[in-house]
Amino acid sequence: MSLEEYVVEIADVYKEYKMGKVTIPALQGISFKIYREEYVSIMGPSGSGKSTLFNVIGGLDTVTSGEIYIDQVDIAELDAYELAWLRNRKIGYIFQTFNLLLAFTAQENVETPMVFAGRPREERRKRSREILELVGLGDRLKNKPGQLSGGQQQRVAIARALANDPAIVLADEPTANLDLVTGLEIIELLRKLNEEQGTTIITATHDLKMINISDRIIWVRDGRVDRIEDRTDVQVSAIS
Amino acid sequence: MSLDLPDPHFSLGEVIYLSFANIRRRFLRSVITALGIILGITFMAALLTNSLILGLMQAETGVEAYQFWLVGISLVVCFGGITNSMLMAVNERVKEIGVYKCIGGLDSHIIRLFIVEALFLGALGGTIGAIIGMGIGILINLNRFPIEDLTTQIASSSFTFVLMFGLCLFISLVLTALATFIPARRAANMSPAEALRYEN
Ligand SMILES: Nc1ncnc2c1ncn2[C@@H]1O[C@H](COP(=O)(O)OP(=O)(O)OP(=O)(O)O)[C@@H](O)[C@H]1O
Ligand SMILES: [Mg+2]
């Protein structure tokens, strides 16, 4: 595959959190590349740095050193407007705790990224309805997050992530707050998105159910890449 | 740098539409914030009016000496009350700012949304506060002076009262805008991850 095929490239990334005099090394030299239209799961024990990685890949937090390229562009060199554009159009985010706007209805939550994209009101209304129908919430447009179950809230969050047709969807433990069945539904939704729209999906997860649908699994431990496995390898190793 | 993007499009009409929608959504909270503003402005307007009337009537009531201090205190109370209301109102919305940033809100757009919302509450609170406060300021002088004298004096210097109303409104707008701008900019300057983590 040519270089153009990489949609995300992480090169020797370090991230330290400073808390007073204490420095916590959350990422300690992480490198990997993700192909376009790939479904990648980032797995590892609690505290291994998955959420930190999620934040820095998505441009939600800065790195201490190292580079992150999205579509061959070093995101450290983007100005505030370009970074906002990236978060708005290029990447859709899904969080473990949903991070919906609680005072907004489901539909308004999905409309907000389109507001920042400068899309007209009518188009926003129409498009948000379509996506919510796509995730199976066509009848809950006017409900606020507090009136929805966890699984339904996560589907609103997925709809919001899809609002501006991102090329990449980043998800941080999207199923961790959900029961088994609801979790499977969310995974199925992500899989369909990946297969039908060709959206690149990167999820940080504890959820072994994710293994079955991932193209590759990146195992992290103590802020480093432990190993990278193709799905076929994982299944073989699981059998043996 | 290299993305070659179109200009950001975020018209004033859109900002006003969204700000009003936000006030409507958080109606009760907005009312409480507005009450804080009203209280501060009422207190200041009442004392200013009282002081103005005493000056107009050139009365020897023995309280003139305190007027300077009273007006000073009223300004401080007003300043503190309004700033506190607005700081709290923004502080409990840092996470919301984090969400806006995550989904592509530009700092300047987010701040604009908050400022327009604050200016509306400031205008509303300032107007109501000034009317109530000036009413109180006149009422407390009703039994101090003959009512005819009072009305002629107020009528002859009605422009001063209009000016004072304008001053109250102006102070309300400036304080609400400033006390919103500073914390909103601080929140918008955080990285999105940091703002999402923020706990009040
Ligand atoms: N804001 C922060 N300030 C200080 N330290 C942090 C912060 N966020 C994370 N850390 C630390 O960085 C390390 C990696 O944390 P991170 O949240 O990335 O792990 P994780 O793999 O997502 O864990 P989990 O599976 O429990 O979500 C941990 O040691 C954690 O304590
Ligand atoms: Mg985590």
List chain B domain ranges: 12-197
Which among B191, B197, B198, B199 is the best mutation to test ligand 1's pocket, defined by most ligand atoms within 8 Å of the CB? B197
Nearest CB to B109 within list A60, A95, A116: A116
Q: What is the mean pLDDT of chain B?
A: 89
Q: Please write the tens of the pLDDT for every residue from B4-23.
A: 666 666 788 888 988 999 99
Q: What is the mean pLDDT of chain A?
A: 92
Instruction: Report CB contact under 8 Å: A89, B104.
Output: yes
Residues 56-95 of B with CB under 8 A from A: 95
Average pLDDT over every residue of A114-133: 94
Is the pLDDT at A240 greater than 60? The verdict is: no
Task: Check residue A1 and give its pLDDT.
Answer: 46
Q: What is the pTM of this model?
A: 0.90
pLDDT tier at A221 (50, 70, 90 boundaries)?
Answer: very high
Domain boundaries defined on chain A:
6-233
- Reading the block at residue A6, the tokens are 């990489």
- Judged by DSSP in three states, A6 sits in strand
- Nearest partner of A113 among A136, A86, A144, judged by Cα: A86
Under 8 Å between Cβ of B101 and B188: yes
- Nearest partner of A46 among A237, A231, A225, A223, judged by Cα: A223
What is the per-residue DSSP string for A150-175? HHHHHHHHHHHHHTT--SEEEEESTT
- Nearest partner of B126 among B73, B181, B84, B174, judged by Cα: B174
Which run of H or of E encompasses B170?
Answer: helix B158-189
Q: Are strands A200-205 and A224-230 parallel, antiparallel or unpaired?
A: unpaired
The CA distance from A114 to the nearest CA of chain B, in Å, is 9
Average pLDDT over every residue of A157-173: 95
Task: Check residue A236 and give its pLDDT.
Answer: 54
The CA distance from B26 to the nearest CA of chain A, in Å, is 7
Task: Check residue A123 and give its pLDDT.
Answer: 95
Is the pLDDT at A237 greater than 90? The verdict is: no
Q: Give the rounded percent of residues in chain B with a pLDDT score beyond 90.
A: 60
Tell the burial category of B13 from Cβ atoms under 10 Å away from its Cβ (0-12, 13-18, 19+).
exposed
Average pLDDT over every residue of B189-198: 93
Is the pLDDT at A3 greater than 70? The verdict is: no
**How far apart are the C-alpha atoms of B185 and B111, rounded to whole Å?**
6
Task: Check residue A152 and give its pLDDT.
Answer: 94
Sign of the Cα pseudo-torsion (A134, A135, A139, A141, in order): negative
Name the residue with tokens 């505290």.
A47
Tell the burial category of A150 from Cβ atoms under 10 Å away from its Cβ (0-12, 13-18, 19+).
middle
Task: Check residue B199 and give its pLDDT.
Answer: 79
Instruction: Report CB contact under 8 Å: A84, B18.
Output: no
Which run of H or of E encompasses A205?
Answer: strand A200-205
Q: Please write the tens of the pLDDT for every residue from B44-90.
A: 999 999 988 888 887 666 666 677 788 888 889 889 989 998 999 99
pLDDT tier at A233 (50, 70, 90 boundaries)?
Answer: confident
Is the pLDDT at A181 greater than 80? The verdict is: yes
pLDDT tier at B146 (50, 70, 90 boundaries)?
Answer: confident
Task: Check residue B1 and give its pLDDT.
Answer: 46
Name the residue with tokens 């102070």.
B171
- Nearest partner of B120 among B79, B169, B66, judged by Cα: B169
Q: Please write the tens of the pLDDT for every residue from A47-97.
A: 999 999 999 999 999 999 999 999 999 999 999 999 999 999 999 999 999
Note the CATH number of domain A6-233: 3.40.50.300
**What is the Å distance from ligand 2's center to A164 Cα?**
25
Q: Give the rounded percent of residues in chain A with a pLDDT score beyond 90.
A: 81
CB within 8 A of A84, min separation 6: which ones?
A116, B101, B104, B105, B106, B107
Is the pLDDT at B177 greater than 50? The verdict is: yes
Under 8 Å between Cβ of A226 and A31: no
Which run of H or of E encompasses B22?
Answer: helix B12-25
Instruction: Report CB contact under 8 Å: B3, A82.
Output: yes
